[in-house]
């Protein structure tokens, strides 16, 4: 029997929906230019450790309150590296509005963060990334930043040189309790950072025999031992694994500007990893890439990010090898 035109159209629309042809149609990315500085839930299941994949709720948790994704990082320059491209990536993924902030002290360790929290020290610069603009605001304490708005996500990390030393995580319990008391609505994530570039001359590299692979493996072991068993972290964001994945590509070990801080391509890779982990949205083929990142580099970076979130504690060799 010949189908009516209406029934044929209904069949085609149903098939398209089943295969996701209408999924992921996000907004255009935000403007990429940044200004200079200014002076001056799918929650973790009870009894289980943090997740490593993206959330898959029908209504994203960050849209339930004010329709905006608000992320605060208690970190250092490595958090800035991860956040610097986050806002335009979020826009390209269809996040209506996003606000990213970093409590910054260069090289700040967990012990330093805990000391600052105990003293309520206004010792931080607050880096804010929103609408293509970076602002730097002096004189912030952790408590003041936590009270500034209703944060959806609060990220923590260890300093890079100590990130693979398990004993250096001793203040994590105090910091988690401090944040939980002041921002009970926020989901906690752990930012697992990256190993130094081969040949880097920093004294802290000697903690790992001046060996990049040894440093990466030490970071993974520390996070698996100290962070992964905890029930208070929602996600582990494996930027360190994403960078290590990308180093197996044709780009090689060229993801930093000075041996530790990420290049633009590295920052883009880290941002993709963060947003893929937080939103669960695929980052391959998104409309946004920085103008100085080539199209083939962007493809490789997205692969590295998605592979890291899928397999956060082991390197996945790139499909774009040297």
What are the distances in angstroms from CA 247 to CA 80, 98, 129, 192, 244?
A: 21, 29, 27, 16, 5
Has residue 39 been placed in a domain?
A: no
Q: In the predicted model, is pLDDT for residue 301 greater than 90? A: yes
Please check whether residue 27 lies inside any domain of the structure. Answer: no
Domain span at residue 278 reads: 50-310
pLDDT for res 48: 57
What's the confidence (pLDDT) of residue 190?
Answer: 98
Q: What per-residue confidence (pLDDT) applies to 66?
A: 79
- pLDDT at residue 41 tops 50: no
The span from the CA of 215 to the CA of 59, in Å, is 39
Of the pLDDT bands very low, low, confident and very high (cuts 50, 70, 90), residue 62 is: confident
Say if pTM beats, i.e. exceeds, 0.85: no
- Whether residue 97 is contained in a domain is answered as yes
The CA-atom distances, in angstroms, between 249 and each of 157, 255, 308, 318 are 26, 11, 14, 5
Q: What is the CATH classification number for the domain harbouring 242?
A: 3.40.50.1110
Q: Give the separation between CA 264 and CA 38, rounded to whole angstroms.
A: 22
Q: Are 104 and 58 in contact (CB under 8 A)?
A: no
What's the residue count for the chain? 322
Tally the domains of the chain.
Answer: 1
Summarize pLDDT for 71-109 with one digit per residue, the tens: 999 999 999 999 999 999 999 999 999 999 999 999 999
pLDDT band at 9 (very low <50, low <70, confident <90, very high): very low
Of 74, 82, 84, 77, the residue nearest 130 (C-alpha) = 84
């Amino acid at each position: 029997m010949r189908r009516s035109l209406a029934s044929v159209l209904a069949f085609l629309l149903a098939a398209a929906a089943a295969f996701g042809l209408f999924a992921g149609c996000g907004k255009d990315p935000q403007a990429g230019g940044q200004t200079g500085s200014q002076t001056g839930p799918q929650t973790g299941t009870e009894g289980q450790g943090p997740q490593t994949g993206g959330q898959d709720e029908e209504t994203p948790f960050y849209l339930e309150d004010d329709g905006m994704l608000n992320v605060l990082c208690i970190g250092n320059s490595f958090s800035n590296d991860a956040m610097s491209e986050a806002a335009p990536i979020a826009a390209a993924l269809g996040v209506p509005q996003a606000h990213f902030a970093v409590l910054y002290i260069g090289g700040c360790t967990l012990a330093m963060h805990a000391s600052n929290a105990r003293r309520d020290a206004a010792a931080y610069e607050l880096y804010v990334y929103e609408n293509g603009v970076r602002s730097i605001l002096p004189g912030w304490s952790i408590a003041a930043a936590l009270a500034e708005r209703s944060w959806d996500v609060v990220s923590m990390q260890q300093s890079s040189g100590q990130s693979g030393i398990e004993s250096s995580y001793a203040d994590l319990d105090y910091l988690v309790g401090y944040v939980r008391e002041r921002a009970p609505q926020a989901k906690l994530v752990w930012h697992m950072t990256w190993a130094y570039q081969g040949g880097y001359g920093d004294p802290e590299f000697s903690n790992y025999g001046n060996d990049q692979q040894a440093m990466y493996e030490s970071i993974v072991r520390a996070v698996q031992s100290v962070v992964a068993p905890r029930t208070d972290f929602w996600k582990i964001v494996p930027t360190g694994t994403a960078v290590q994945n990308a180093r197996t590509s044709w780009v090689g070990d060229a993801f930093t500007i000075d041996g530790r801080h990420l290049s633009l391509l590295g920052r883009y890779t880290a941002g993709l990893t963060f947003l893929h982990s937080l939103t669960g949205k695929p980052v391959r083929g998104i409309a946004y890439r920085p103008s100085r990142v080539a199209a083939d580099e962007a493809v490789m970076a997205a692969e590295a990010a998605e592979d890291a979130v899928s397999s956060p504690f082991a390197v996945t060799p790139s499909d774009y090898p040297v």
